[in-house]
Structure 1
Amino acid sequence: MKNIKSNTPIGPDTRTRIIEAFVQHVLETGREPVSVFKFAQSLGIKEEEFYTYYTSFLGVKGGVWEQIFERTVAQMEAQPVHASYSAREKLLAFYFTWIEEMKKNRSYLLALYLQPDGFKKAMPEELRGFKAKFQAFANELIVEGKATDQIAERKYISDKYADALWLETLFILQFWLKDTSPSFEKTDAAIEKSVNLVFDLMGKTAVDSLVDFAKFLYQSK
């Protein structure tokens, strides 16, 4: 493995340095590191210091996803118009900003997650932290949407709205990983149509959006 020692003193930024070194290793080799000992050595830290921050490379991969989420929200909320957005517009803004953040790590994400049939499992284990953060964000949008009548309160179903938005997030991620269209135009369309569909399903009208989205998926095969 390439030696990536840094003159930067070990300190509060060690967690970030571990994440950056992990991503760099995947970019250079096409796979994640095998040995924590060798990885820590290349970073200029002791193995036990690695375990201060992460117990395994699975944790590091989770850290990458949480970092992407946090940067997405920071970028989105930094926009002056964000506060005036409706719940639907905030979800659209999240997804578009999220894609922009993921573009910065596309080669890394493709190396680890692009599979002929999508993810090897329904959801990679390392996405759990990202999922928790996203669902907290989604629940805020749902509360806001109900308050403004964009989202309908439905007995037994309303509690599943955040789960539906998470499934949409996984769909968008896998769609983007496979997207080869110029400037990821098809992903942009998938985001718009899926957000419109999910908000119509949570709202009072759904038929038109469902037909439009089904047509889009058929034409994108």
Structure 2
Amino acid sequence: MHSSEKRTSKGSTIILSSKSLISLYVEQVLNQKEIPSRVHQFCYDHKINEAEFYAFFGSFEGIQLEIWNVFFKETMDLLETDPALSTYSDREKTIAFFHSFFQILAQHRDYILFALREYKEDLRDVRQLKSLRMHLKSFAEKLVRAEGNDQNQKDPRMSGTIFAEGFWLQTLFLLKYWMNDDSKDYTNTLNAIENSVHAIFDVFRSSPSEGVLDFGSLPWKKTGA
């Protein structure tokens, strides 16, 4: 992604990039407690030429999608700093992933709570999460393939496609759980991660085709934050 310099009215120079536009967008959303309605007004307020905005994003929805892309990338970057990662089982890698994911989200909690405020009861069809869904399902499928030479080879019913969908549904459950979690250091969410990962892996190992269908009825889901 290219970038360009932009001189403000006060004479200071900023680097206009997708990152800086995201920062301006998030700051405005948090300060004004509303989503900008027009690109023209947003650019006027921040002294940006509209053509420069459209060089990076086609709409505000593009920014919203990219924000979640960034969260995923930062999660993977954080996850890969673990020197023991290559020795983890698929179950342990999943737990480590979710720990990293919510560590990243915690840094942006106010924005996330606002951005998803209208969808807290059902996150499945939220448009701004659609690219995150693709990233997560791809990660889950790779996880299953990577384990194919040992554990999963012993259990050929462990389908990467089915597991990926279950992984996505589990992410949505945990995201909703975290949004309602007011425990210190999100201890309840961390416990939910551990319990849900073990539960869902046990379901997939025993009856993978039913894992996605019965996901919402697993016992641990009935305990709130």
The residue that corresponds to 2:33 in the other structure is 30
2:121 to 103, 114, 118: 118
1:216/1:162 CA distance change after superposition, 3 Å: closer
Q: TM-score, normalised on structure 2? A: 0.83
1:107 to 98, 105, 110: 110
The residue that corresponds to 1:46 in the other structure is 49
**Identity across matched positions, percent:** 26
1:44/1:125 CA distance change after superposition, 3 Å: same
Q: Distance in 2 between matches of 1:23 and 1:80?
A: 33
Question: What are the superposed Cα offsets for residues 113-133 of structure 1, whole Å, 9 maximum, x if unpaired?
Answer: 1348524x6321111111111
In terms of mean alpha carbon deviation, does 107-116 or 57-66 score higher? 107-116
2:78 is paired with a residue whose SS is helix
1:78 is paired with a residue whose SS is coil
Deviation, structure 1 residue 215: 4.4
CA RMSD of superposed structures (Å): 2.6
2:68 is equivalent to residue 65 of structure 1: yes
The residue that corresponds to 1:147 in the other structure is 149
1:116/1:20 CA distance change after superposition, 3 Å: closer
Q: Distance in 2 between matches of 1:149 and 1:176?
A: 31
Question: What are the superposed Cα offsets for residues 86-110 of structure 1, whole Å, 9 maximum, x if unpaired?
Answer: 1111111110111010011100011
Deviation, structure 1 residue 9: 4.4
Deviation, structure 1 residue 10: 4.0
Aligned length: 209
1:181 to 180, 183, 189: 183
Kept after mapping to 2: 8 A contact 1:31/1:112:
no
Deviation, structure 1 residue 18: 0.8
Deviation, structure 1 residue 26: 1.3
2:139 is equivalent to residue 134 of structure 1: no
Q: TM-score, normalised on structure 1? A: 0.84
The residue that corresponds to 2:12 in the other structure is 7
The residue that corresponds to 2:201 in the other structure is 199
Query: Structure with the greater relative contact order (CA < 8 A, sep ≥ 6): 1 or 2?
Result: 1
Question: What are the superposed Cα offsets for residues 158-189 of structure 1, whole Å, 9 maximum, x if unpaired?
Answer: 53211111111111111111112222111111
Kept after mapping to 2: 8 A contact 1:114/1:177:
no
The residue that corresponds to 1:218 in the other structure is 222
Kept after mapping to 1: 8 A contact 2:141/2:161:
no
Kept after mapping to 2: 8 A contact 1:27/1:107:
yes
The residue that corresponds to 1:83 in the other structure is 86
Long gaps (5+) in structure 2? 1-7, 209-213
2:151 is paired with a residue whose SS is coil
